Amino acid sequence: MYKTILITGGAGYIGSHTSYLLNQLGYKIIIIDKFVHNQNFNQPWAKLIKADIADQNILNQVFAENKIHAIMHFAAFIEVGESVKKPKEFYENNVSKTLNLLNTMLIFGINKFIFSSSCAIYGNPTNIPIDENHQFAPISPYGKNKLCVEFILQDYAKTYDLKYVSLRYFNAAGALPKYNLGEQHDPETHIIPLMLRAIKNNDVFKIFGSDYKTNDGTCIRDYIHVLDIAQAHILALKYIEERNQSNSFNLGSEKGYSVKEMIQEAENICNKKMNSKIYDRRPGDVDVLIADSTKIKTILGWKPKYSDLKFILKSAWKWECKNIFPMKKSASLKNLKTMYN
Ligand code: UDP
């Protein structure tokens, strides 16, 4: 019998690629997603429930009617800047609702949980590359949300029958255009789609700050292909199944590129110049973020296969060329109906 995985936020960027990989491996997938980014849904293999994870009736129904083997929890607000403006909404959405999900899964005897955490829990790094022993000093409410959930998971795992893996993502990037999967946020705030759209539409790409403590003055980030992130979720599930333990891992390519280097690479891939202009710094951005991913490589045997920057940009460019933006208008949450594929 195929095992069923519940993916919250499975219609989102990382959730959808993980869902694809789980399906390839023969898992059955149920997705709960409230479509905050107005994205299209391109996963005929999954059962989709359009709902908020805070909807207790839906959760009860899903857990009662399905034998859920594990939960992969991607559903969250992700925009760091927004989290500063709307901490209440962020704590409610990213912490309270996660707590409720955990409490409900435990009532139904589900005990395997994989959590989308973030390198934002480390704050402004004191040393590079960042390993898991780096101090926790999140700057934004978003980073604090992720850390709160990590603390909840630690405490719950000590006391209750819960096994979890937290994956602390660095910068997710790239796409799987062959399966109509890629980055679709509305509004888009991430560097790669914005750069590629600037090239495609002859728009200006805004460089946020050129006075950072880096060689060329622009921020350095660690870009990791979304399929390598998806693969880490599969290994995390195996870890829980086989070792019956909990753990937290960084997930990055261990290579850093500045914004200016990214522009150069994108121009090479697209064979076209980009119009770019220096703007003020974006609040909350730190100079350099590069992962030390030794722990996940050693313990889970994770090996990034797709995280070469050229490959990341090529896959993202194919996706951008294939897709027509802006995205479709989606119904308001009030009107969303439960829908099964
Ligand atoms: N960035 C930029 N212009 C943009 C979007 C992003 O210069 O239009 C920079 C941003 O300041 C950061 C890097 O690109 O240094 C990565 O930002 P992104 O929002 O993609 O990811 P984050 O690191 O915030 O998770």
Indicate which CATH number applies to the domain containing 168: 3.40.50.720
53 closest CA partner among 329, 240, 330, 333: 333
- CA 208, chain centre distance (Å): 22
Ligand 1 midpoint to CA 190 (Å): 6
Q: Is 142 a catalytic residue?
A: yes
Q: Any idea which residue has 């490589």 for tokens? A: 297
Residue nearest atom 11 of ligand 1, based on CA coordinates: 208
Ligand 1 midpoint to CA 299 (Å): 30
CB 21 within 8 A of CB 227: yes
- Residue 12 is predicted with a pLDDT of 95
Q: Of 142, 164, 212, 223, which one is the catalytic site residue?
A: 142
Sign of CA dihedral 154, 221, 326, 86: positive
The span from the CA of 303 to the CA of 220, in Å, is 22
Structure tokens at 184: 């679709």
- Residue 199 is predicted with a pLDDT of 97
> Residue 335 — φ and ψ, nearest 5°?
-90, -5
- Residue 333 is predicted with a pLDDT of 29
- Residue 324 is predicted with a pLDDT of 57
Residue nearest atom 10 of ligand 1, based on CA coordinates: 208
Could you tell me the pTM of the whole model?
0.94
Consecutive H or E run containing 163: strand 163-169
- Residue 301 is predicted with a pLDDT of 98
Sign of CA dihedral 20, 21, 24, 27: negative
Q: Which positions ≥6 away from 211 have C-beta within 8 Å?
A: 217, 281
- Residue 175 is predicted with a pLDDT of 97
Task: Look at the chain and report how many structural domains it folds into.
Answer: 1
- Residue 37 is predicted with a pLDDT of 83
- Residue 336 is predicted with a pLDDT of 26
Ligand 1 midpoint to CA 294 (Å): 25
Structural domain boundaries enclosing 90: 4-340
Ligand 1 midpoint to CA 189 (Å): 7
Protein residues with CB under 6 Å of any ligand 1 atom: 80, 171, 189-191, 194, 206-208, 219, 221, 259, 282, 285
Residue nearest atom 3 of ligand 1, based on CA coordinates: 207
Segments of the chain scoring below 70 in pLDDT: 1, 324-341
The span from the CA of 33 to the CA of 98, in Å, is 13
For the segment 176-205, what is each residue's pLDDT rounded down to a tens digit?
999 999 998 888 999 999 999 999 999 999
The span from the CA of 25 to the CA of 135, in Å, is 36
